[in-house]
Amino acid sequence: MRRVLCYDTTLRDGTQAEDISLTTEDKLRIALKLDELGLAYIEGGWPGSNPTDKRFFQEIQNYHLKYASIAAFGSTHNHRVTAETDPNLKALVDSGAPVVTIFGKSWDIHVTEALGTTLPRNLELVGDSLAYLRQHFREVFFDAEHFFDGYKANPDYALSVLRRAKEAGADVLVLCDTNGGTLPVEFRAIMSAVAAALPEARFGIHTHNDSGVAVANSLEAVELGAVQVQGTVNGYGERCGNANLCTIIPSLILKCGIDCLPEGKLPLLTPTAHFVSEMVNQQPPSNQPYVGDGAFAHKGGVHVSAVVKNPLTYEHVTPESVGNARRVLLSDLSGQSNILYKAREFGFELDKNDPFVLELLTTIKEREALGYEYTAAEASYELLLNRVLGRARSYFTVTRYRVLDDNVYESDEPLTEATVMIKVGGRVKHTASTGRGPINALDKAIRKALRGFYPRLAEMRLLDFKVRVLSGTVEDEQCGRGVCGTASHVRVLVESGDTAKRWVTVGVSHNVIEASFQAMEDAINYKLFSDDKEKLTKALKG
Amino acid sequence: MRRVLCYDTTLRDGTQAEDISLTTEDKLRIALKLDELGLAYIEGGWPGSNPTDKRFFQEIQNYHLKYASIAAFGSTHNHRVTAETDPNLKALVDSGAPVVTIFGKSWDIHVTEALGTTLPRNLELVGDSLAYLRQHFREVFFDAEHFFDGYKANPDYALSVLRRAKEAGADVLVLCDTNGGTLPVEFRAIMSAVAAALPEARFGIHTHNDSGVAVANSLEAVELGAVQVQGTVNGYGERCGNANLCTIIPSLILKCGIDCLPEGKLPLLTPTAHFVSEMVNQQPPSNQPYVGDGAFAHKGGVHVSAVVKNPLTYEHVTPESVGNARRVLLSDLSGQSNILYKAREFGFELDKNDPFVLELLTTIKEREALGYEYTAAEASYELLLNRVLGRARSYFTVTRYRVLDDNVYESDEPLTEATVMIKVGGRVKHTASTGRGPINALDKAIRKALRGFYPRLAEMRLLDFKVRVLSGTVEDEQCGRGVCGTASHVRVLVESGDTAKRWVTVGVSHNVIEASFQAMEDAINYKLFSDDKEKLTKALKG
């Protein structure tokens, strides 16, 4: 079976998108997730350009990646110096990455206007930079920036840039449609001509979506022999985004018979797409091909009954093949199979006629209507499942908490104080703590209250929290105009971890403090519950 | 110049999207707007299926449309009756529309499984229905549902359906990729074979975006001779949506030299797209090709300086050609040229050697390092600019605020109370309010404090707020492991509006309450500042 290698640039080109910025920790978590999916290359960033990226390349070396090779990104060397003395090329080498990708100019007006040098000098920059990097990396890729526009303006020059890159040792020549303006007909004509002119070369493709055809052009390129496809998760990227790998990958595997993920990994695609959208804190578009919540959602009655008879009638692929699920909108059937599926994951073989399933379905529907969302918050879901089935004990009860936030403008910092009253068995504990903000103060107060009862909570940390406003769910009595920001529901996701694992919990309320507190309560309960479960499993085995 | 006719089905297929439902009045307003843009056909709905659509066809007859013809939509007649006695065909005729489109089955399994009839009987349904409608309409179009899947399963039968439709008088045979699963390579092969088999026929195209190639396939179809392109505004439609006319139209006009709107109408495209997204109450996707807010937004410093020199370097078409505008984003990637460009937008002609520019740059860099982000919060930026230049007065000073959040678990709702102390001139005002959560309580308390001084604040509403946790920026003294969720910085964006405009402001703190309060303070200041600016501008003119 023919193989194409996917090259992810979410961490570099994806962060050029308007609302996306990632910390080093975010980048590490995304990289590990993409490795799990089985992508061949993960471009980590531009180590010469900023400290976030530089730290990423240091930290990632502490992890063992199973499938992916990390690539460092940069440009050809500055035209005023040599490759050997260029600080940016040196930063690439120092990154410790096994793979490097540099971009160079292939459009004549960019050479003269943007770069401010001559056409022959640009050929030297390309050749010298690649020849230098060739000595330090396992693989070297060359991104021919603006290649398609360059070819239209001056085909001979554009080709001579590619030739020089190949001679200097580039393993793959990546043709970039940087402005995203090339339509498929023209794209095919140019790429065919280029492939004919350089019959020995291996090509990659990097497209942008300014004309809405980034995916189609990437598929054309593969059809014409490209061995590498560059893109981003969910198509994140500057302006209209990059080619969406979540669309390209299933089309290649399921429709073109091309191998681009390790065997059995395709069902991780939807969860990976949703994970990355959580990390960049953006609502995943419901209408995204293959991985969108709406990609297999059926509304019209005609469609629904046909789909129930034979899914093929209104579904181009099976939702399970990409880890998604069929949704029947406005119908009581919705969700049941997901619930059974999910319960199986947590070790419960439920029957759909089991009365617990109905209760669970009702509970979940009610909570989802309030804005709870369990896709990312699996720990909350597992707790809920066990509570409905009567298998989770109550470790503690909160009877009251209070937060006071006092901000006197001449003083340095606002004072925040939280008090928490809990019951464990028959004993009441009442504690207080200050903190940096209300959530932090509450977190500290509740730990103080519980640590005498459950010392192992000392291992647990709250690692991250995310807040999303669910606009349009509630009307404010004072507003009366539909959505009204400050009285909207908010959903808080809290990520916690101990030495062995990480888990995510959820809370929803009008009140950001209350929503956070719910998620923290769940997080602590989950820690205690999962430790007990593990002990029990060990005891049963031993 | 070759001409292709655009056929809009936003009002019918577009409303199959998960979150879209339109009243008759909405539909009328959208139809008038699409007529203004100059589309050739507007499909109004399915008059036989529901009262909303039936009323639309009655009402639209009261309007004089300049460019568009209204089309009624339905299916071939029921196989148990004849064309003459079928109530749905009668409803089509009664609609009073000049154009009719009916869909029929062209995939054999759909005939036998979904329709429950025989293959020859389906040919009769197609032929008889079209022959009957032919007598009552100026133009008759036939949507061959699932044509591409049908052709793959049984090419002879799929072609015989088209032949029968043509013989019965269909003006255009519309090939539908109903499940959206056909990739461009296969699409071209099938459409070429079909065009060769029916050399006299006129073809239309109707694609869905389940493989992310609906636009590309529509362009292919035009390349292969299609005379009609069906699609929706913003690509609305079931599952992953229909072909997006807002992407196809500019590509045809600007890049393929094909005429599909009246002369001079293309700049109405962006306002039309935004109008329709308002009518269906959905946030327009910022990354939409051509018409998205981000389609011509530039972030990286390298890009910005190149775009300023020569827009062609990073823009595939001019934003003005489609009624959009260039935006230069303010971000930590940006430099002096972005700031000068932005200042010009707000009416300041600054010189890069002006000492204020240096101060501004330093201030912005400091604030960005703390996590402030002005890309989305242009109102906060305009205030900052005017403060640094000494042109913004102080409308009020907050000296203290306090929030108490008290949650007693047996009671219904947590009690939240905020108090605010402000000074306006020499006068001190101290107010209190409850609210649904701390932010809502503070919002109410500060308005209470200010409304005596500035009654026009009654016009202003907080419309939305977004919270983003900036992980990795701060270490908690108790945590010491880098990122520590509950003590991280948060960034809050608040969107406000009055009767005339909307604006966004930003706040950053460890404390979500403090960050929100900062953004609300800026929002109120901006309202007062921009009202004054407007008054001044009017006074100077008058």
Instruction: Give the pLDDT mean for B466-478.
Output: 54
Q: Which CATH architecture has domain A5-279?
A: Alpha-Beta Barrel (3.20)
Averaged confidence pLDDT in chain B: 89
Q: Residue A485 has what pLDDT?
A: 47
Q: Residue A480 has what pLDDT?
A: 36
Q: Residue A390 has what pLDDT?
A: 82
Task: Determine contact, residues B245/B4, Cβ cutoff 8 Å.
Answer: no
Q: Residue A483 has what pLDDT?
A: 36
The CATH number of the structural domain formed by B396-453 is 3.30.160
User: Minimal Cα distance from B216: which residue of A?
Assistant: A213
- The alpha carbon of residue A356 is apart from the nearest alpha carbon of chain B, in Å, by 27
Where helices occur in A139-183 by DSSP H, the ranges are: 147-153, 155-167
Q: What is the pLDDT of residues A464-476, one digit of tens each?
A: 777 877 754 333 3
Angle between helices B24-37 and B51-60 (to 10 degrees): 50
Chain A CB within 8 Å of residue B370 CB: no
Q: Residue B480 has what pLDDT?
A: 36
Q: Residue A478 has what pLDDT?
A: 39
CA distance B124 to B132: 12
Q: Which of A218, A404, A509, A512 to mutate to test the interface with B (most CBs of B within 10 A)?
A: A512
Q: Do B185 and A288 touch (CB under 8 A)?
A: no
The pTM score is 0.73
Beta-strand pair A69-75/A41-45: parallel
Q: Residue A333 has what pLDDT?
A: 36
Q: Does domain B358-390+460-542 have CATH number 1.10.287.70?
A: no
Percent of chain A predicted with pLDDT > 70: 91
Q: What is the pLDDT of residues B313-346, one digit of tens each?
A: 889 999 999 999 888 776 544 466 667 777 777 7
Q: Do A295 and B483 touch (CB under 8 A)?
A: no
Q: Residue A95 has what pLDDT?
A: 97
Averaged confidence pLDDT in chain A: 89
CA distance B230 to B221: 11
CA distance B33 to B88: 28
**Could you count the other beta carbons within 10 Å of the beta carbon of residue A304?**
17
In this complex, which of A216, A223, A306 lies closest to B114 when CB atoms are compared?
A: A306
Task: Determine contact, residues B176/B147, Cβ cutoff 8 Å.
Answer: yes
Is the predicted pLDDT of residue A479 greater than 80, yes or no? no
Task: Determine contact, residues B213/A218, Cβ cutoff 8 Å.
Answer: no
A488 contact residues in B (CB cutoff 8 A):
464-465
Is the predicted pLDDT of residue B484 greater than 60, yes or no? no
Q: Residue B487 has what pLDDT?
A: 55
Strand partners, B402: A406, B419
B5-279 and B396-453 in the same fold:
no
Q: Do A416 and B472 touch (CB under 8 A)?
A: no
Instruction: Give the pLDDT mean for B425-444.
Output: 92
User: Minimal Cα distance from A515: which residue of B?
Assistant: B437
Q: What is the pLDDT of residues A417-453, one digit of tens each?
A: 999 999 998 899 999 999 988 999 999 999 999 999 9
Q: What is the pLDDT of residues A306-363, one digit of tens each?
A: 776 778 788 999 999 999 988 766 433 345 666 666 677 677 777 777 887 778 878 8
C-alpha distance from residue B101 to each of B74, B165, B174 (Å)? 7, 12, 9
Identify which of A86, A126, A82, A132 has the alpha carbon closest to the alpha carbon of residue A106. Answer: A126
Greater confidence (B351 vs B267) lies with B267
DSSP A284: P
Three-class SS state of A434: strand
Q: Which residue ranges make up each domain of chain B? A: 5-279, 358-390+460-542, 396-453
ipTM above 0.90 for this complex: no
Least confident of A172-186, A340-354, A453-467: A340-354
- The alpha carbon of residue B52 is apart from the nearest alpha carbon of chain A, in Å, by 16
- The alpha carbon of residue B536 is apart from the nearest alpha carbon of chain A, in Å, by 30
Identify which of B225, B261, B257 has the alpha carbon closest to the alpha carbon of residue B246. Answer: B261
Greater confidence (A294 vs A21) lies with A294
- The alpha carbon of residue B478 is apart from the nearest alpha carbon of chain A, in Å, by 9
Q: Which of B179, B239, B408 to mutate to test the interface with A (most CBs of A within 10 A)?
A: B239
Q: What is the pLDDT of residues A318-330, one digit of tens each?
A: 999 999 988 766 4
Q: Residue B477 has what pLDDT?
A: 37
Q: How confident is the model at residue B275 (pLDDT cuts 50, 70, 90)?
A: confident
Is the predicted pLDDT of residue B394 greater than 90, yes or no? no
Residue found by looking up tokens 């655009």 in the block: B6
